[in-house]
Structure 1
């Protein structure tokens, strides 16, 4: 699967053009006749609908806006400059302000798709049903580690009879240093603790369809009333309900972005050789192999195999890492 990657000069030029556009939009002395458009003002993208976006103004009002041509792709969480269209309603987004962080994933065609921006933490939501796969969890964690955004794991639906086995299954992540929390919206267990983890931070919920992300938002933020769905009784897989990421405010401070469910979180934007960097417990051993191009499978002097032999890393995590690397090489 071929993917177009910008070289350093192309990336610099795109950023330069965007900064120039942002500077122009901020200048009050701009002589351009904007017709029915009001003054440039700051706003926050709270949802995305194809070519149109919902932008929240400083006063809390939400405006359906369209984008100027040649703007980069925008995503929920972006801070933008926009102008109200006084004649036709809504507004025009003029420029994108600098992002402090961004989470992205490749779509089914291998093109990079933004998930959310300006977030402080990623909450990977899993549940006993649909049955969690540690390989899928690793995909999410590798993608999160590549962004540098802190990530922790939330086991939802702990009222289900399968919950105990699922918690044992993911205990491996707690052992290597990830925060693992649990809750249930059905019996309202663990929700107060969860909310305290979210207050004052901008968080994004990610995970498969059917793990209950939207139900969590409904429980944490009464009155939001996001439509939710049930697990398919035939496939035991989640059914898509949320179709676009949306930002919600926490009354005590902070934000939650509810993202659409994804059954298979791709990491095709990551080079195969960079996958081990997404396994945080591998860090002390990376770069210490005898051979520079070590495959971490059979070579003498492999630091990861030595760590496995010493019980410092798990066989399952190493197997998943090698599987992800092989998949990326096959699809490149």
Structure 2
């Protein structure tokens, strides 16, 4: 199917917007050049992005100061967790003029379905789940595929452990993930003692909390960082889901070491950029048998001699994992995959 051609008026509007953006970028860069020529910028320093507010960014300097900075227009999209080079100006602000190579990048789809970066240099993704609102296992599997695609270590954390009676089957599901080799923790944001092992786990490197809105990501961070003021959302009586309260991805330093990045609640997670090889990384238990079928193009649904179906019958692969694998594989061409 050929692409729909733009009308002359539509093309004019697009060109106008692009020209306006270019003009703003040139104006900003011209101002920066004027500051350089006037000697208003200090020596370059290393810094860490801790929050992004549209055109401005909060950078943590090497001495711990937080500096509000503007960004040169020739830089790529910057995100929380980026290591940058910045120069202080004469008004207690600064200018970011370079970014270091990233060791990892976490992305998610925007409202148009386009991938955008969320956080950089992430060492572990903590998948927060809860009995209420109930986190479905297929959503957990999709998060695991995403972490495998980005080569980021996943951790499954069951929060609100005191509500497990509302979804008792989750205990068995968590044990199954443990048997598959995944790191699993159980805690409650109401119990500081239950979070001690989490404090030790996040004491090194950068951690990102992901999960449905309402599962308690910000509540957990409030326990880990009691001196920070993080809004905790209420549960909607109409939907039983949490209201989105954290609007900007922000990085917090843990007093004992390590950093946490709190990002907006994720209800949809895009995987259309995922190949079947990436999918296999997220399902190592399934992939172990998938290459031993009688037919090389086996769909693992109805063909005779399917090694995966045999593995399920023999108890080597969980039926629900195979179903989840097939569902995700069949939806790779979708713009987004819903976890609700």
TM-score scaled by structure 2?
0.82
Matched position secondary structure for 1:190: helix
Aligned: 1:232 with 2:228: no
Q: 1: CA distance between counterparts of 2:261 and 2:58? A: 14
Give the aligned partner of residue 33 of structure 2. none
Aligned: 1:306 with 2:301: no
Q: Structure 1: 5+ residue runs without aligned partners?
A: 1-31
- The alpha carbon displacement at 1:108 in A equals 3.5
- Contact 1:125-1:156 within 8 A present in 2 as well: yes
- Contact 1:125-1:207 within 8 A present in 2 as well: yes
Q: 2: CA distance between counterparts of 1:291 and 1:34? A: 71
Q: 2: CA distance between counterparts of 1:330 and 1:116? A: 24
- Contact 2:148-2:278 within 8 A present in 1 as well: no
Distance 1:171 1:249, change over 3 A: same
- Contact 1:200-1:252 within 8 A present in 2 as well: no
Give the aligned partner of residue 97 of structure 1. 100
**1:1-332 alignment to 2 at 5 Å?**
33=37, 35-86=39-90, 88-160=91-163, 161-162=165-166, 164-272=168-276, 274-331=278-335
Q: 2: CA distance between counterparts of 1:293 and 1:34? A: 67
- The alpha carbon displacement at 1:35 in A equals 4.1
Alignment coverage as a number of residue pairs = 300
- Contact 1:157-1:163 within 8 A present in 2 as well: no
The 10-residue stretch of structure 1 (62-71 or 103-112) with the greater mean CA deviation from structure 2 = 103-112
- Contact 2:113-2:335 within 8 A present in 1 as well: no
Bigger radius of gyration: 2
Give the aligned partner of residue 28 of structure 1. none
- The alpha carbon displacement at 1:76 in A equals 0.8
Give the aligned partner of residue 14 of structure 2. none
Q: Structure 2: 5+ residue runs without aligned partners?
A: 1-35
Q: 2: CA distance between counterparts of 1:300 and 1:50? A: 55
Q: 2: CA distance between counterparts of 1:98 and 1:166? A: 39
- The alpha carbon displacement at 1:40 in A equals 1.4
Matched position secondary structure for 2:308: helix
- Contact 1:159-1:187 within 8 A present in 2 as well: no
- Contact 2:286-2:321 within 8 A present in 1 as well: no
- Contact 2:70-2:94 within 8 A present in 1 as well: yes
1:1-49 Cα distance to aligned partner (Å, 9 max, x none) = xxxxxxxxxxxxxxxxxxxxxxxxxxxxxxx747422221110001111
Alignment RMSD = 2.0
Q: 1: CA distance between counterparts of 2:70 and 2:297? A: 48
